[in-house]
A and B are shown apart, each in its own frame.
Chain A
Amino acid sequence: MAVETKLPPVLDIIRSNIVKYGNPLAMKGSEVASWAKGLNLPKRGDILFYTGGEYQLLPFIDSLVKTMTHIDQGSKGFSLMMGVRNILDKAGFNAEKVYASVLAKDRERYNRVCNKAAHILQRLGYDLCYPGDEELYSGALLYELGFWEDLKEYAQKVVDMIERTGAKTIVCLSPHAAEVLKLIYPQMVPGFSAEIKTFVEMVWEQRDKLPAIPTSKPVVIHDSCRLARELEVDEEIRDILQAVGVPIVEAYRNKKWTTCCGGPSKLLFPELSHTMGSRRVDELEETGAEIILTSCPYCLASLEGGQAKGDKTTVEDLIEFLYRGFAA
């Protein structure tokens, strides 16, 4: 007998946003692609630069979570809400305005991550293409949350999008996208065989071309779970940093034994997620390093969120850190 189970509404919000809008938070394609303005990346090519919209949506996730923490998820009002853009409308605010003003700075920063990543890869000699406002989210959360039936259909759309670019290699900025494209898609979309690479792997292959980053201060690496365990990419990050002449200190738990940033439970258990994020920050700070590097959008957001007020450390994405070498 089939049982229809009602789960916390946030799960269905995320699900239907992905299915309907191609993005967990129903962002517009033009918003997702705004970072690429002026770069004139071609829509077709051998190497597809794939953001999946994940860095771009970071500032909005926090808003969604903040809103959820203040609204009873079981209430009728909540279940009426769909997507991030009308959440605050229902509470009497104008969402567009709130986001535009409060988060302009964050928005800018995370958009810049995509920009910097493309810049680095181009400078390393890769010819990138980018589908612009047609880019779709990978659907990793559909997999994560159990919506496998939806993913089966959705993945086909993503594969169509990929195929229109003619690319043979896909560079994923997010390890979550890389995981789902590399390990799950082949089971769901027969014949899907594009080569899936992470940003880290692409950089690693050309690391000799990276400009040095002048610093004597050691950094600590927070390995993302997906990257270190499912994708088995950990030494590569060390190699890259060695190539740019940056000393590394290792956390007590690292590589395959890395501690999760707590990010995955942000939607359903935000307080717990925050606690885990700060505990991981503590672990990383025990090394004495002042810069914490990671290579995953959700780790980046969770660790930043987990920093204590007045914390002296900075949390940066590997992309941002490597870009220092080019900006200098």
Chain B
Amino acid sequence: MKLDLTKDFAEYAKDLNQASRDANIQKAMARAVKSYRDTTAETMKRYPHTPDLALEVQGIKTNAIENNPDLLQQAMASVERNKGKAFYAKDAEAALALAAQIIGKGKTVVKGKSMLGEEIHLREYLEEQGTEVWETDLGEFILQLKKERPMHILSPAIHVPREQVAEIFSKFFGKEVPPDIAAEVAQVREFMRDKYFTADVGISGANVVAADTGAMVIIENEGNVRLSTGAPPVHIVMVGIEKIVPTFSDAMKVAEVTWRYAQYGIPGYVNIISGPSKTGDIEKVTTYGAHGPKEFYVIFVDNGRSLMARDERFSQALHCLRCGGCMYECPVFQVTAGHFGYTYLGGIGSIWTAFVSGGLEKAAPLLYTCLRCGRCVERCPMSINVPEMVGQLRKMIVNGEQIGDGDLTLAATVGNASQALSS
């Protein structure tokens, strides 16, 4: 098979150049980088145990990825024990089909921010199915209106300054919204409130999953996740299989490291959700759907992850907590934002692109953008060696190798997990 990427490279280079000349991007990125560095330095000082904890979490993640097939079975069993329903989706299609099946036709969905959602194009798919979907994270909501993809995994609308937000909102809400951040936020709050309480389904991701308890840990600041996972009668969690760790206390450690490096300092909210809402207050009879959702579903999505897990050159990419720290320290990202990315962004994103979202073909331009300068490794709480993996993938491209070449265990593992699901 022949693949000519010369055009892709040329177009991509143009896009990068344009981004690096875009005044909005430059203004926003300069602010963001400074604020990230300042906040992180300050919170590290206040919580000096963080780097040690990060080291401990590295160990937790390494073991968890090695034992991922077992942990997946455990986590699914825990969810079922908690009266939720657990599913394993081997790829994007399977995940989307499951979600669509649960949701049904003509419904309204409120959705929390989720990179996995971006990876499988969840919103677009549901909309095509006639479902009304609202992104409840402010940044994602702006992009939903702007019809753009996220430019940072945590601050998706990092490149859009308030003036532009005001323009977009004024048009959408059909009334003048001033370029004042507080006013912009208030406008969305008012609009969303109604959506939370009329939506049929809430969808969220999860930052960590504890296998022993089936607890989904979701970190946030806005409070949109509380509402969208609490108000609608149905809650669906869609989460990558790499997020599972053995125990509840492991999960807490992972969560703390995640938010610390994600510039949260202290997050406004940490949601821990393990099953549907229930009460036993009348005659000790357990009844589901008290104030929160009556139905609770978890879809564990593989979509290339187990392939990564089994390749010792790349399994460390699954340790990524998605804190976003590396991107602020990346010299390319600092001038291009998410233009250096496909769905997943920056250096680590180029690895994820190759395995779960786009393949080597889409990853190639990104892989050759990475400077292999290695500063991301210094920043990364998991010390993920992105330059090393970038080198490996470049070699694979040059040699005409493909992702998963020679992987014989894949079929077996996937088969087992699916069986666990149907039994």
Contact = CB atoms under 8 A, between A and B. Distances in A.
A4 B331 CA distance: 31
A153 to B, nearest CB: 14
A163 interface: no
A220 interface: no
A229 B372 CA distance: 11
A208 to B, nearest CB: 32
A272 B336 contact: yes
Contacts of A271: 13, 17, 20
Contacts of A158: none
Nearest to A260: B373
B3 A3 contact: yes
A5 B331 contact: no
Interface string A17-36: 00000000000000000000
Sorting the interface of chain A by its residue count into under 10, 10 to 19, 20 to 34 or 35 or more gives: 35 or more
Given A3-B3, A4-B2, A264 B372 contact: yes
A265 B371 contact: yes
A259 B375 contact: yes
Sorting the interface of chain B by its residue count into under 10, 10 to 19, 20 to 34 or 35 or more gives: 35 or more
Contacts of A148: 395, 398-399
A256 B378 contact: yes
B301 interface: no
Contacts of B368: 7, 11, 145, 268
B369 interface: yes
A162 interface: no
A74 B372 CA distance: 25
Nearest to A264: B371
A143 to B, nearest CB: 7
Contact of B391 (A143, A258, A259): A143
B387 to A, nearest CB: 9
B332 interface: yes
A81 B301 CA distance: 47
Contact of B9 (A3, A8, A263, A280): A8
A257 B402 contact: no
A3 B369 contact: no
B281 interface: no
A144 interface: yes
A225 B375 contact: yes
A130 B369 CA distance: 36
A27 B399 CA distance: 27
A280 B375 CA distance: 14
Nearest to A2: B400
A156 interface: no
**A-B pairs with lowest CB-CB distance, top 8:** A146-B394, A260-B373, A146-B398, A2-B400, A6-B4, A225-B373, A264-B371, A146-B395
Interface of A: 1-9, 11, 72-74, 143-149, 225, 229-230, 256-260, 262-265, 268-269, 271-272, 275-276, 279-280
Interface of B: 1-7, 9-10, 13, 16-17, 20, 329, 331-332, 334-336, 360-361, 364, 368-369, 371-375, 377-378, 391, 393-402
14 contacts: A3-B1, A7-B397, A8-B10, A73-B6, A146-B398, A225-B371, A259-B331, A265-B371, A268-B9, A268-B369, A269-B16, A269-B17, A276-B335, A276-B371
Given A259-B375, A268-B9, A275-B20, 20 more contacts: A3-B360, A4-B2, A4-B3, A5-B5, A5-B361, A5-B364, A5-B397, A5-B400, A7-B5, A8-B6, A144-B391, A145-B394, A146-B398, A265-B332, A265-B369, A265-B371, A269-B369, A271-B13, A272-B332, A272-B336
